[in-house]
Amino acid sequence: MMASLNMRILKMIMNNKKVLLGVSGGIAVYKALDVISRLKKKGIEVKVIMTKSATEFVTPLSFQSLSENPVVIDMFDEPKAWEIQHISLAKWADLVVVVPATANIIGKVANGIADDMLSTTIMATKAEVIFCPAMNTNMYENKIVQKNMATLKDLGYGFINPASGRLACGDIGRGKLENTEIIAEKIIKKLSSKSRDFEGKNVLVTAGPTIVPIDPVRYLTNRSTGKMGYEIAKEARDRGANVTLISGPTSLDIPTGVNFIKVNTNEEMLNAVLDNFNDSNIVVKSAAVADFNVKEYSKEKIKKTDSNLVIELERDKDILETLGKQKTNQIIVGFAAESSNVIENAKAKLKRKNIDYIVANDITSNDTGFASDDNKVTIISSLGDVISLDKMSKREVAKNIFDMIKGR
């Protein structure tokens, strides 16, 4: 009785969920049919894109029958209604899953190649994309394939790793498509935990350092890597927001599905922020901007002499303070990187800047903060709420920030 009730509840949750299944041309194509069957039983709507190679293994009719939707193959097929199909499908999906994912489709997406319906749709979607690799062991372990997968993972694409076992070619090793039951379970789990609670909201995020040019060769900067801001942008994107990420110079890959603006100086960041501020619902200013500017910039390279070089600095414009003065209905989140009296200094900054939340962290910690994948912060609200988080990944910190905003 309870199991039956739980099943009905799950079907209600999944009823409006939409999965776009990409099928690329490998021997495991037929297994994708079982994935569709399992998803349909849970009330999930499924649409299918097949590559031409995939149709050599299993006919599109089989996929059409199980999904109860037309199968898309050719970019130049006449659509059933007036629409640009790779765009309409990209917008339609809550989740894109490629089963099986061959070395070919993985390589295409990793290198920005969009030359068929599947690769083009993946490029156009803002939904999360998960690859389920299936190929010969030697292909899977090839350094090029591994590099392509690492690139995609760094960009935020997901993977359901292949299993080990006897392959169709007779080899034994890793490369076998994961059990379809496990694939379906992971898709369902992803959909059930996937909250798009910021759908329709415009979120503006700043990240990374800014630079202070001294002369055409030299500049001052700080140790910010931008990791925290980039994870905030990804979290907002995955929760349905329209995200604009304004970033100073970093070595990070640009997250997919966001409007990216690259800047260098404090002034450039201020101008970019102000250009987007009025249209923003939420602003998260995690960038470590320069507090000071060089009073006199040298248009020529400063020559080395026997004397010491003295550079006079002056206060630069305070971006966060500017936003606090101009805000109307925007929710503004600031960051306070402190080395002492962390909470007291953060509370004072929260009030002084007229913002809604401040995220305080101790930069003297050796295992969190700059360059680390983890952080340990305290989130303080203008309403007096104080939440101290344990050490966690920066993505988890980002989740907590948006959870706190949601509960406001």
CA distance 318 to 328: 18
- Number of neighbours of residue 407 by Cβ within 10 angstroms: 8
CA distance 177 to 246: 39
- Number of neighbours of residue 219 by Cβ within 10 angstroms: 16
- Identify the active-site residue in 169, 217, 302, 386: 169
Q: Residue 206 has which token pair?
A: 């700043």
Angle between helices 103-110 and 117-124 in degrees, nearest 10: 40
CA distance 5 to 9: 6
Contact status, residue 207 vs residue 232, Cβ threshold 8 Å: yes
| DSSP alpha helix (H) spans, 201-244 | 227-238
DSSP 90-130: HHH-SEEEEEEE-HHHHHHHHTT---SHHHHHHHH--SEEE
Assess whether 169 carries a catalytic annotation: yes
Please tell me whether the peptide bond between 162 and the residue prior to it is cis, using omega within 30 degrees of 0: no
Q: How many helices (DSSP H) and strands (DSSP E) are in the chain? A: 14, 22
Catalytic residues: 169
